[in-house]
Amino acid sequence: MSAEENIKLKPAGAPEALTHFVRGLWQENAIFRQMLGMCPVLAVTAQLQPALTMGAATTFVLVCSNVVVSLMRNLLQGHLRILMFTLTIATFVTIADLLLQAFLPDMSEALGAYVPLIIVNCLIIGRAEACGSRKPVTTSLCDALGMGIGFTFGLCVLACVREILADGALWGHQIMPDAFVCWNVMKLPAGAFITLGILLGLSNHFFKKK
Amino acid sequence: MNSETSLIMVFISLAIVNNLVLIKFLGICPYLGVSRRVDMAFGMGCAVTFVMTISGTVTWLVNNLVLQKIGMGYLKYIAFIMVIASMVQLVEMYVRKFFPSLYESFGIFLPLITTNCAILGTCLFIDLWEFTFLQAVVASFGGGLGFTLVICMMGGIREHLEWADVPRALKGAGITLITAGIMTLAFMGFSGMI
């Protein structure tokens, strides 16, 4: 089975992986195009630093679980596959959580329950279902990398807007003049919803071809 | 504070003041996906409340009586998600047997309750805030009710939004998110209650 697949897929393997990688960056961007994994997008983007950490953690879990799912794709079957995806993801999230606690304790504190919540990020299960369980390892790896970077990019854009407006700062450094009045609402949940709504509207307005 | 008042406080806190959807950002996917009509939103809310109450209770038992006792707390995420997945499977079998028409109308959204972050989130917050057993039961039920309340309100607003003249770029998710933002501002009025 796998030998036959290798013969069939090897010539087209590299370009296919590349298209999958590029597609995840913008064309099928998780946040602005597919609207997947919204909970962390809203919850951790009050500042740039936790947003970037969250993006990195999600990308790590996404890449690892997509590769593992791709490796065992011939063993998966029927309705049990979703359970297998979830367990694989939960394992890697536990690893990511322990790593964060060990090396970035203050970030781990700031993100709190949202790190274990990566388990139920629909983006990761979605990629496992759409790509990991169908495509060979290289394609799955590139696809996960592209999606992860696209997701991190979306998180960072939202976090930049919110941190500049809420604190007049970026990555903790003040960048706005002293006369700037901070928009406190941007720090609150309301600011998260409204900023994301407006950013989605802008991306639809400027980039969607009719 | 005696135990009854503390239970009422936990209930109000989870249902309104710390609302899962609007303040903790959990369960945004069904909130945006299933809130097109009030009746669908209500059905979804009931299913989520049911699963949430049972899994909140069972995960508390598993975590405190088994995992912490044998010192394997690091397995709790995997244990939690297993409990939730089996509860959803149970509900799915029950609904399919006794309410086939409801089962048809839910479609894919019923199994997707497993990946509803509101449920796992509640279990994690119960663990994080170190609730007692009764508090955990009340908290998970209150969280489910709060979810139902908010998703039904959103359904009602969106039924009216169908007829509104919304800028084309904001149609669908954009205007729903902005509406949710304004709703959050309203819910912040409750924050002084506790």
Residues 6+ apart with CB under 8 A from A35: A200, B32, B173
| Whole-number pLDDT of residue A122 | 83
Could you give the residue ranges of the DSSP H alpha helices within A26-104? 38-43, 48-71, 80-103
Supply the angle between the helices B38-61 and B117-128 in degrees, to the nearest 10: 40
Q: Chain B partners of A82 at a C-beta cutoff of 8 Å?
A: 85, 111, 114
The answer to whether A112 contacts chain B (CB < 8 Å) is yes
The 10 Å Cβ neighbour count of residue B170 is 19
The interface residues of chain A toward chain B in range 36-55, judged by CB-CB distance below 8 A, are: 36, 38-39, 42-43
Does residue B92 sit within a domain? yes
Residue A164 contacts residue A47 (beta carbons within 8 Å): no
Torsion of CA B75, B76, B79, B80, to 10 degrees: -160
State pLDDT tens for residues A198-207. 988 888 888 7
**φ/ψ of residue A116, rounded to 5:** -60, -25
Q: What angle do CA B48, B53, B54 make, to 5 degrees?
A: 105
Closest chain B CA to residue A186: B181
Token match 């029927």: residue? Answer: A78
State pLDDT tens for residues B84-105. 888 888 888 888 888 888 787 7
Yes or no, beta carbons of B177 and A121 under 8 Å apart: no
Q: Region B132-141: what's the mean pLDDT? A: 92
| Whole-number pLDDT of residue A68 | 93
Within 13 A of A169's CA, how many CA atoms are on the CB side?
11
Terminal Cα-to-Cα distance of chain A (whole angstroms): 43
| Whole-number pLDDT of residue A56 | 93
| Whole-number pLDDT of residue A120 | 85
Q: How many residues does chain B have?
A: 194
| Whole-number pLDDT of residue A1 | 37
Name the more confident of A209 and A198: A198
Q: Chain A partners of B169 at a C-beta cutoff of 8 Å?
A: 201-202, 204-205, 208
Rounded to two decimals, the pTM is 0.85
Residue B114 contacts residue A81 (beta carbons within 8 Å): no
Q: Name the residue among A112, A121, A204 with its Cβ closest to that of B174.
A: A204
Yes or no, beta carbons of B115 and A120 under 8 Å apart: yes
Closest chain A CA to residue B88: A83
Helix (H, G, I), strand (E, B) or coil at A28: coil
ipTM for the predicted complex comes to: 0.83
Q: Sorting pLDDT into bands at 50, 70 and 90, what band is B2?
A: low
- Residue B1, min C-alpha distance to chain A (Å): 27
What is the C-alpha separation between A205 and B62, in angstroms, rounded? Answer: 49
What is the C-alpha separation between A201 and B13, in angstroms, rounded? Answer: 33
What is the C-alpha separation between B166 and B175, in angstroms, rounded? Answer: 8
Torsion of CA A30, B143, B60, A111, to 10 degrees: 40
Q: Name the residue among B74, B120, B184 with its Cβ closest to that of A117.
A: B120
- Residue B122, min C-alpha distance to chain A (Å): 10
Closest chain B CA to residue A116: B77
Q: What is the largest CA-CA distance in chain B?
A: 60
What is the C-alpha separation between B43 and B102, in angstroms, rounded? Answer: 8
The DSSP string of A97-152 is HHHHHHH-HHHHHHHGGGTGGGGG-HHHHHHIIIIITTS-HHHHHHHHHHHHHHHH
What is the C-alpha separation between A139 and A20, in angstroms, rounded? Answer: 7
Q: How far is CA A133 from CA A28, A65, A118, B134, in A?
A: 19, 11, 19, 42
Name the residue ranges covered by the structural domains of chain A. Answer: 13-207
Q: Two tokens at B130?
A: 């170190």
How big, in percent rounded to 5, are the helix, strand and coil portions of chain B?
Answer: 80, 0, 20
Does residue B154 sit within a domain? yes
State pLDDT tens for residues A11-39. 445 577 788 888 878 777 777 777 777 87
Q: Chain B partners of A35 at a C-beta cutoff of 8 Å?
A: 32, 173
Of the ranges A21-25, A113-117, A166-170, the best mean pLDDT one: A113-117
Terminal Cα-to-Cα distance of chain B (whole angstroms): 13
Q: Name the residue among B111, B124, B169 with its Cβ closest to that of A116.
A: B124
What is the C-alpha separation between B46 and B51, in angstroms, rounded? Answer: 9
The 10 Å Cβ neighbour count of residue B126 is 24
Yes or no, beta carbons of A189 and B117 under 8 Å apart: no
| Whole-number pLDDT of residue B170 | 84
Whether the predicted pLDDT of B70 surpasses 70: yes
Q: Sorting pLDDT into bands at 50, 70 and 90, what band is A83?
A: confident
Residue B172 contacts residue B41 (beta carbons within 8 Å): no
The answer to whether A13 contacts chain B (CB < 8 Å) is no
Does residue B173 sit within a domain? no
Whether the predicted pLDDT of A9 surpasses 50: no
Q: Which residues constitute the domain of residue B59?
A: 39-167
| Whole-number pLDDT of residue A209 | 55
What is the C-alpha separation between A42 and A121, in angstroms, rounded? Answer: 13
Helix (H, G, I), strand (E, B) or coil at A174: strand
Helix (H, G, I), strand (E, B) or coil at B141: helix
State pLDDT tens for residues B111-126. 777 778 889 999 999 9
- Residue B48, min C-alpha distance to chain A (Å): 15
Q: With pLDDT > 70 as the criterion, what percentage of chain A qualifies? A: 91
Domain count, chain B: 1
Token match 């297998």: residue? Answer: A84
Q: Name the residue among B74, B128, B173 with its Cβ closest to that of A94.
A: B74
Yes or no, beta carbons of A39 and B120 under 8 Å apart: no
Yes or no, beta carbons of B181 and A193 under 8 Å apart: yes
Q: Between A and B, how many residue pairs show a Cβ–Cβ distance under 8 A?
A: 120
Q: How many residues does chain A have?
A: 210
- Kindly report the average pLDDT of chain B as a whole number: 86
Whether the predicted pLDDT of A95 surpasses 60: yes
Q: What is the largest CA-CA distance in chain A?
A: 68
